[in-house]
Amino acid sequence: MGIIHLLREGISQLTTTGFGDAIIYRKSEIEDCVNTAWVLNILRGLPLFLLLILLSPLIASFYGEEVLNTAIKILGIVFVFEGLYNANMILYRKNLDFKKIAILQTSTSLLGILVVIVLAYYLRNVWALLSGIIFSSFIAMTLSYYIVEKKPRFSFHSKLAWELFHYGKYVTGVGLLVFLTTRLDDGLIGKLLGMKELGLYINAYFFANLPATHVSAMLRQLIFPAFSQFNQDQRRLSRVFLRVFKVITAITIPASFGILAFSNEIASVLLGEVWIPMVPALKILVFFGFFRAIAGCTGPLLKAMGKPKVIFWILFGKLIVIATIIYPLTVRYGIEGTAIAVTGPMLLEQIYLWFVINRVTGISIRDLVSRVVKPVLLGGMMYGVIMLLKSFLPLTSITLFFFYVLVGILIYGVGILIFDRELVDEVKSLKAEKQDTPGDVN
Model pLDDT for residues 139-152, shown as the tens digit of each residue: 988 888 888 878 88
- C-alpha angle 301-302-307 in degrees, rounded to nearest 5: 150
Give the burial class of 165: count Cβ atoms within 10 A of its Cβ; 0-12 exposed, 13-18 middle, 19 or more buried: middle
- Asked whether residue 345 carries a pLDDT value surpassing 60, the answer given is yes
Element containing residue 309 per DSSP (H, E): helix 308-333
Confidence band for 410, pLDDT divided at 50, 70 and 90 = very high
Give the burial class of 176: count Cβ atoms within 10 A of its Cβ; 0-12 exposed, 13-18 middle, 19 or more buried: buried
CA neighbours within 13 Å on the CB side: how many for 242?
20
pTM of the predicted structure, to 2 decimals: 0.70
Confidence band for 321, pLDDT divided at 50, 70 and 90 = very high
Measured distance CA(330)–CA(1) in Å, rounded: 21
Measured distance CA(203)–CA(125) in Å, rounded: 17
Share of the chain above pLDDT 90, in %: 14
Output the CA torsion sign for 12, 13, 16, 20: positive
Per-residue pLDDT of 178-226, as tens digits, reads: 777 777 788 888 888 888 888 899 899 989 888 776 666 566 666 777 7
Q: Who wins on pLDDT, 325 or 237?
A: 325
Please count the other Cβ atoms lying within 10 Å of the Cβ belonging to residue 134: 17
- 438 in helix, strand or coil? coil
Q: What is the rounded average pLDDT for all residues in the chain?
A: 82
Least confident range of 73-82, 201-210, 299-308, 317-326: 299-308
Classify each residue of 426-441 as buried b or exposed e, where b means 16 or more C-beta atoms within 10 Å of its C-beta: beebbeebeeeeeeee
Confidence band for 438, pLDDT divided at 50, 70 and 90 = very low
Measured distance CA(141)–CA(148) in Å, rounded: 11
Least confident range of 18-22, 199-203, 376-380: 18-22
Confidence band for 421, pLDDT divided at 50, 70 and 90 = low
Share of the chain above pLDDT 70, in %: 88
Per-residue model confidence (pLDDT) at position 260: 92
Per-residue pLDDT of 54-113, as tens digits, reads: 989 988 888 888 888 999 999 889 888 988 888 888 777 777 666 777 787 788 888 888
Closest CA to 21 of 308, 279, 393: 308
